[in-house]
Chain A
């Protein structure tokens, strides 16, 4: 499956986790999957299963414990800092430190891999920035300070920053955490639209499972024993969702094709 021509990112026996002094804390191992170009992919799984760790490993924020990661068929270890910055952009869960940056300035920082040593913006840079601002509907906010924005607006700014970086792959760690229902759907629609119009490959992690199963092209399901990948339909056939939470309260309803609540208390 790693040999498919359309694959932009693939893993071979990847083991993820943290190396602490002499010990290794393995979170998941033997990970083999491939992600197709121009698709919206969601990593789902319960809290603490290693979604963020997987995304951090895929984007080379942290090193894999074992195995290899291929980006565009090339071993990710062979990438230089700058080359990687032109291939993968990130939206992380960590809060951006408080500063006086305006929305425009923050989005413009996405152009750093392309700017000269003193960070001057060329015509092309400005063009990309304006495109990113338009794509995320931030025209009216571009001169505001980032510290004045709501969580939903800030998330759109961070996505716009990743867009202005103009990379083939965008990795977003829980882009809809802290957002209300409306904003969540706005973000999902935006991401879906971007994969269609720009042919960018987007990988997100999310707890919005019911939304992800409907909107995303492919899912990467992390469960205790196994990692499943595929379309929602394929995953239902493999019973991938059955043991996702190992819980009686939340269960996957095959008929409804979504997770439902079975609580005794209400």
Chain B
């Protein structure tokens, strides 16, 4: 498709992303002068040791996680919206995040219910990510199967909601039979948190994230043709089944790993693609994929900066902030005179 000059937009957004990244790192319960933060990030070791630890081992991984989570979820939302040709689709609305939660719940809570089947102590980063991705994959697969039967886009959303409640119910049953400590562990996970990730966990997270992001590039062309509907896409030589499986795998991997490491985070996947579509007024995925990624990363950095309540020692669960931010945006999108489009 023809390229409109979007370079300015992208430069501006990248600068903003970088600014919010630095802002996010410089805010926190311990106030560290900006100059010292910057020199620490540049690899200078003249700064106080405790400050270095705070910046390099806590704030930096957290800010990077925010970018991973925000951009990953936004891209998943964009892929869902085009695949289902439904502007209200997103990983949370379609129950995919809930599927990932179910995977995590089975791992954390299931170990006490099913006894020695899962070994509690051996919950590694990888197993959490794999369980969540499998859960996400199962729900997404079920939604796609249902979508093949239902042409009505509204019904697909209802089906997604039903899968969400279904997994919620299973988790509730599991929780009922679990021990208090495990329920607590699960509950804290479900509040969502961008922090607490060590660098070794970041490596697992980062590698899966990069694989997902690169795989996205391969579906730009099929996604663009899907804007015309499946029959037209097919007539343009696109292998629909193959593209659908790639999107399925990318979305469940990204949603799975993000949900595993930072808890179920709502609304980002639904709201951010629409912000990108509004800002760039295009449906071309060559523009929308990077745009959603940058805006998503930025939005989550802002949400996280708010969540850690600058200068106080408290941190609000990130999930609460994204809902506070996302829900009004979605309502506003619906109430706007202009139609929302894919």
Contacts and interface: CB of A to CB of B under 8 A. Distances in A.
B2 A108 contact: yes
Contacts of A100: 277, 281-283, 341
Contacts, number: 92
Interface in B275-295: 277, 281-284, 286
Contact of B339 (A59, A98, A118): A98
Contacts of A115: 221
A147 B283 CA distance: 12
Contacts of A110: 236
B184 interface: no
Interface string A100-135: 110011101110110101110100000000000000
Contacts of B1: 104-105, 108-109, 119, 121
Contacts of B283: 99-101, 105
A248 to B, nearest CB: 38
A92 interface: yes
A108 to B, nearest CB: 5
Interface residues of A, number: 33
Interface centre among A81, A84, A108, A165 (most CB of B within 10 A): A81
Nearest to B338: A147
A261 to B, nearest CB: 35
B218 A98 contact: no
A76 to B, nearest CB: 13
B217 A118 contact: yes
A29 B277 CA distance: 48
A202 interface: no
Given A82-B237, A85-B237, A112-B237, A92 B221 contact: no
Given A86-B237, A105-B2, A97 B342 contact: yes
Interface centre among B217, B231, B235, B236 (most CB of A within 10 A): B235
A88 B235 contact: yes
Given A108-B1, A109-B1, A147-B341, A97 B235 contact: no
B85 interface: yes
**Chain B interface extent, by class:** 20 to 34
Contact of A96 (B228, B237, B277): B228
A59 B231 CA distance: 11
Interface in B324-342: 339, 341-342
Contacts of A81: 234, 237-239
A1 interface: no
B235 A59 contact: yes
A249 interface: no
Given A109-B225, A112-B221, A118-B221, A96 B232 contact: yes
B220 interface: yes
Interface in A59-99: 59, 61, 81-82, 84-86, 88-90, 92, 94, 96-99
A154 to B, nearest CB: 12
A99 B2 contact: no
B227 interface: yes
Interface in B1-30: 1-2
Contacts of A121: 1-2
A104 B235 CA distance: 19
B221 A119 contact: yes
A110 B341 CA distance: 21
Contacts of A106: 228
A101 B286 CA distance: 13
A8 B227 CA distance: 30
Nearest to A101: B283
B229 A97 contact: yes
Nearest to B85: A97
Nearest to B227: A99
B238 A112 contact: yes
A230 to B, nearest CB: 28
A22 B188 CA distance: 51
B220 A118 contact: yes
Contacts of A147: 339, 341
A84 B227 contact: no
Contacts of A88: 235
A121 B3 CA distance: 9
Contacts of B282: 100, 105
Given A86-B237, A109-B224, 14 more contacts: A61-B231, A85-B235, A85-B236, A92-B232, A94-B231, A97-B85, A99-B227, A100-B277, A105-B2, A106-B228, A112-B221, A117-B218, A119-B221, A147-B341
Interface of B: 1-2, 85, 217-218, 220-221, 224-225, 227-229, 231-232, 234-239, 277, 281-284, 286, 339, 341-342
The 10 A-B pairs at the shortest CB distance, nearest first, are namely A85-B237, A82-B237, A99-B283, A100-B283, A112-B236, A90-B235, A113-B237, A98-B341, A97-B85, A105-B1
19 contacts: A61-B235, A81-B239, A84-B235, A84-B237, A85-B237, A90-B231, A92-B231, A94-B229, A96-B228, A96-B229, A99-B227, A100-B281, A100-B283, A105-B2, A110-B236, A112-B238, A118-B221, A119-B1, A121-B2
